Structure 1
Amino acid sequence: MAPWDRLPVPPIRLPRPKGLPWPAGLSWPAGLPWPWGLAPYTVERDLPVTMPDGVVLLADRYVPAGVERPPTILVRTPYGRRGPAALANGLLFVPFGFQLVVQSARGTSGSGGEFDPLGSERTDGLATVEWLKRQPWFHGSFAAFGPSYLGYAAWAIAAEAGPELKAMSLQITASTFRDAAYVGGSFALESTLTWTDLTHRQQRRLGMLTAPLTSRRRALRAARSGRPLAEMDVVAGGEPMRFYQDLLAGHGAASGYWDTRDFSATVGEVSAPATLLGGWYDVFLPWMIKDYLALRAAGHVPYLTIGPWWHTDARHGLPAIRESLAWFRAHLQGDPSGLRRDPVRVYVTGAREWRHYRDWPPPGTRRTRWHLHAGGGLGEDGPRDAPPSPYRFDPARPTPALGGPTLLGSSRPVDNRPLERRPDVLVFTS
């Protein structure tokens, strides 16, 4: 149990910030006052929720004062329920008339059982929804909220949660992490090793504080060790780590590992209105867009926001809260005044401006297929007959990555020209 999971959370009071740096087009919803002093609330700690196998998971319930029959926002997380995690889990929604139920995933922060990343979220999540519906304080509607793993846990139950699920607001996440673990068919060492080490250590004393700061450093040290992939978890963490080994072994479809961990096939069955927020440099963006397209193909009208952010970029935190609040007010409280007119809003990096669209890809967009040409060319005509383009690979001088999406590090854009000048890198240019 993290140290702050034993501490009370006092009411949080925020002064109205002056000159809050919202990106253009991401203003606070019209008609909604900024909570100068957040409304008081009560908290019920460590609510026991029994799973079908007898394991007991713990949840905290935040209830706004003076609000009759508040709708519920459900969050399921492996990252702790209190302390700094409380804000990330949606505490700021409570002053606006929502009760918040935050549950710690199996094997984390006091919940029983063993943490099996990705493996228990459907079963445990659906059991939690059934428990929620039986509570005398549940008034018939709830929403799902969360970034990253929290969003994945919401996708795991979304198609089967029942008509009581009225809305979903998910950020920097996807309904499956399968392709993100094997990007382009290659094992995503940075993402899998850093996250495995992070979740492996965070349940230790002060782990919630230290693991986010040191897990990536340990993963980099392991990657530079020259040891085989199968030993990287031991190099980084000092012992074998189950999730890392599972991902290594689960690459092929024959393993069956992803059969109960991939919810992309059920996205079109989700009837609850969904809003999705991601970043151009986020490691999960391609699959978040696939989720959006699956909802559109099923006849739904999800909202989509893509900003100039990466996965751990703090700048997407406030826009996520703002957009989620407007979404929940519209679909759980019947007040659509805070919703924008166009469902899609994206930041165009070259123009440095926000643009609004009715759909994604924008109407009129043409998909172009590019072909590799001899001599480093890239063109629309092809494929052409040409000899292979050779390069020289030296395992003693591995090719680094100067940039690109990462899970825990910064993914801000970088100049790749020094990398492209290496003899072991092929570059094709239009």
Structure 2
Amino acid sequence: MLGKSFKIIASLLLVIGLLLTFVYINRGDVVRFALDLPAFETEVGSVSTVQVRMSDGVRLDAEVYLPAGEGPWPVILMRDPYNRSTCSLKVRYGYACVHQGVRGRHDSEGDWYPVISERSDGLETLDWLLKQTWQDGNIATLGPSYLGVVQWSMIDQMPEEVKTVVADISHGDWYEIIHRNGHFVQGVMTEWAKSLHLPDASFEEMAAHRPAIENNDVFLRGDAQWYEDYLANTDKVGEYWSSEAYSLTRNAHKNASMPVLMMGAWHDFFLNGQFKVFDELPQRTRSLLMIRNGNHVWQNSVLEFINTYGYSFKMTLDWLDVHLKGQVVEQLPESGYVLQDNVDNGWNHFPSWPQKTGTLDLYLGNLGGAVTCDGGTLGFSRPVGSGKASYHYNPNEPVKTIGGSYNLYSGGAVAQGDDNCFRDDVMSFESGVLNEPPTLSGSIKVLINVSSDAPDSAFTVKVQEKLSDGRVINIRDDITSLSYRNGSIHKQPYVAGSVVELEFNLTPIEWKFQPGSSLRLDISSSNYPMFNAHPNVEGNWSTVVNPAVAQQEILGGMLSLPVR
């Protein structure tokens, strides 16, 4: 009861903090003081609402914020499905700001279907913007999450007046946000669907409903055809995900002509794709990637949130001042990586990253004892005759999600107890105290040899730091089905009972272990409701009504840690 009360209080404090932050954004000097921002340059001059007509006749609603005084001004463009404008703060720093609702959302006309119209609508909006007398020919697009996706969708065709793109927690490969190695990312997409179409719908009921393909009609009044289409199309190389809109959005960054400020979070579901996009930018040597602590919605304490958000906002201001106003900001790196430390929350600039200098390999041992909490071992030499770990995986009783990166509103590197460790379907391996606590820099690799008596099934890994006080902190986790194992974009055959090697290349991370800590690896077959519970049958999981129970075996494996 005490633990539940604590969670409620913590959630209330988080909500209060977020509400205060949104209030601050419209309170001028209060928000500037709270976030430790530089002095304002001007007042808000005017705010007007305009209708921007697209070539097909659809009108998109936009608010235009202009600074006080005489223009023209450099302009920030944000295109948004949420109707959460932050223009009133940005305009105080001498920028005109346009906040537009995307097609089919709020007061904008047309039908809402994510991604499909964003490229054409965004480019036509830029054409309209260039005709306005209050802009000075220096434009930036800006925004997080879906507001970032709309930027990536058109980045290769933006006019030369767009001098930079500021894209937070986002990239353009929409498939990778929805499907993860044969699993549906329910913690993101189901939450997002209900928040957009019917916020009062129950996420728990939607996640548990079978068959899941009915969720749109049963819970969302049939308004989210796009959500139903995502469930029906699981193969990245299939016709649906190979269509022009998704292909262009996925690849547009490869032909971007301007420098980009990218921002991410260490426990955000976009991060893995952000590393790939950043490496592929043509203006990579003039672009910057900043990664903060927390998850998709920040989720630190209120004070940590304010400090981190303030740092991010100041970096954005500095970047805009350099690229739209031609100012010199000495403290702003021109390129590379600015990374927040997981222990002291400080910031470090790395011209290149990761800083890996070697690997630390640990091998799974005492597999037969892994059914007990930390009963398996992680040793520095390959064991001989270590046995095997066996367990039953029942999709009707999946392992509960605690933390992690593939959630929309929760998750992260949360400290936790051993709730899941004591389950008999979670195999747990522990290293013992690390005498010289390492710093990880790069991607952790996990290799495990497994078998299942099902024709298709799932396996999960969770790499954690076990602190000296017994608490456990998430570092990285992942999931795969046998049919989409080892990162395959094609469905692979699996013969029930056969042994296969699963390779997990986890999202890169910079992570300091604390003195007295040990390393822990948990292996299981579900991480629910963050991911769908695999039904242990072949075919599209979202059409299955009656799942099966599977007998799983782990026959060995290893971790390879990138250390510096």
Q: Distance in 1 between matches of 2:193 and 2:76?
A: 28
Q: Distance in 2 between matches of 1:15 and 1:240?
A: 40
Alignment partner, residue 301 of structure 1: 286
* Residues 384 and 168 of structure 1, relative CA distance in 2, 3 Å threshold: farther
Question: Displacement, 1:13?
Answer: 3.3
Structure number having the greater helix percentage: 1
Secondary structure at 1:337's aligned position in 2? Answer: coil
Matching of residues 138-153 of structure 1 within 5 Å:
138-153=135-150
* Residues 63 and 244 of structure 1, relative CA distance in 2, 3 Å threshold: same
Question: Displacement, 1:356?
Answer: 2.0
Question: Are positions 1:330 and 2:322 aligned together?
Answer: yes
Q: Aligned AA for 1:312?
A: V
Conserved? CA contact 1:73–1:99, under 8 Å: yes
Question: Displacement, 1:366?
Answer: 4.2
Secondary structure at 1:305's aligned position in 2? Answer: strand
Question: Displacement, 1:160?
Answer: 0.6
Question: Displacement, 1:77?
Answer: 0.6
Q: Distance in 2 between matches of 1:234 and 1:401?
A: 26
Q: Distance in 1 between matches of 2:270 and 2:380?
A: 28
Alignment partner, residue 45 of structure 2: 41
Q: Distance in 2 between matches of 1:391 and 1:413?
A: 27
* Residues 92 and 383 of structure 1, relative CA distance in 2, 3 Å threshold: farther
Question: Are positions 1:283 and 2:283 aligned together?
Answer: no
Q: Distance in 2 between matches of 1:420 and 1:183?
A: 24
Matching of residues 349-360 of structure 1 within 5 Å:
349-350=342-343, 352-360=345-353
Question: Displacement, 1:335?
Answer: 1.0
Conserved? CA contact 2:285–2:336, under 8 Å: no
Conserved? CA contact 1:11–1:41, under 8 Å: no
Q: Distance in 2 between matches of 1:289 and 1:150?
A: 18
Alignment partner, residue 213 of structure 2: 230
Q: 1:14-43 deviations in whole A, cap 9, x for unaligned? A: 24765x4x6xxxx64xxx4256xx613112
Q: Aligned AA for 2:354?
A: P
Conserved? CA contact 1:197–1:237, under 8 Å: yes
* Residues 115 and 304 of structure 1, relative CA distance in 2, 3 Å threshold: same
- More deviation in 117-126 or 315-324? 315-324
Alignment partner, residue 272 of structure 1: 258
* Residues 53 and 94 of structure 1, relative CA distance in 2, 3 Å threshold: same
Matching of residues 14-163 of structure 1 within 5 Å:
14-15=29-30, 20=34, 28=37, 32-34=38-40, 39-45=43-49, 47-80=50-83, 85-87=84-86, 90-163=87-160
Conserved? CA contact 2:365–2:377, under 8 Å: yes
Alignment partner, residue 396 of structure 1: 396
Q: Distance in 2 between matches of 1:389 and 1:301?
A: 50
Q: Distance in 1 between matches of 2:345 and 2:92?
A: 34
* Residues 387 and 410 of structure 1, relative CA distance in 2, 3 Å threshold: closer
Conserved? CA contact 1:152–1:175, under 8 Å: yes
Conserved? CA contact 1:62–1:101, under 8 Å: yes
Alignment partner, residue 206 of structure 1: none
Secondary structure at 1:390's aligned position in 2? Answer: strand
Question: Are positions 1:221 and 2:199 aligned together?
Answer: no
Candidates 276, 279, 298, aligned match of 1:313: 298
Q: Distance in 1 between matches of 2:387 and 2:316?
A: 53
Q: Aligned AA for 1:78?
A: P
Question: Displacement, 1:78?
Answer: 0.9
Conserved? CA contact 1:11–1:40, under 8 Å: no
Q: Distance in 2 between matches of 1:176 and 1:384?
A: 43
| Aligned pairs, number | 387
Q: Aligned AA for 2:81?
A: P
Q: Distance in 2 between matches of 1:338 and 1:33?
A: 18
Conserved? CA contact 2:291–2:338, under 8 Å: yes
Q: Aligned AA for 1:322?
A: K
How high is the TM-score relative to the length of structure 2?
A: 0.62
Secondary structure at 1:114's aligned position in 2? Answer: coil
Question: Displacement, 1:360?
Answer: 2.2
Q: Aligned AA for 1:139?
A: D
* Residues 99 and 400 of structure 1, relative CA distance in 2, 3 Å threshold: same
Question: Displacement, 1:311?
Answer: 1.1
Alignment partner, residue 246 of structure 1: 229
Secondary structure at 2:104's aligned position in 1? Answer: coil
Conserved? CA contact 2:315–2:332, under 8 Å: no
Alignment partner, residue 425 of structure 2: 424
Alignment partner, residue 346 of structure 1: 339
What is the identity percentage for the equivalent residue pairs of Structure 1 and Structure 2? 26
Q: Distance in 2 between matches of 1:16 and 1:398?
A: 43
Conserved? CA contact 2:365–2:379, under 8 Å: yes
Q: 1:295-338 deviations in whole A, cap 9, x for unaligned? A: 2x764331121111211126254333222111111100011326
Q: Distance in 1 between matches of 2:121 and 2:47?
A: 23
Q: 1:170-226 deviations in whole A, cap 9, x for unaligned? A: 21112223112112331111211111111223xxxxxxxxx3xx45xx1123223x4
Alignment partner, residue 413 of structure 1: 414
* Residues 11 and 128 of structure 1, relative CA distance in 2, 3 Å threshold: same
Question: Displacement, 1:138?
Answer: 3.1
Q: Aligned AA for 2:293?
A: P
How high is the TM-score relative to the length of structure 1?
A: 0.80
Q: Aligned AA for 2:69?
A: G
Q: Distance in 2 between matches of 1:348 and 1:365?
A: 18
Q: Aligned AA for 1:13?
A: G
Question: Are positions 1:195 and 2:192 aligned together?
Answer: yes
Secondary structure at 1:304's aligned position in 2? Answer: strand
Q: Distance in 2 between matches of 1:179 and 1:368?
A: 29
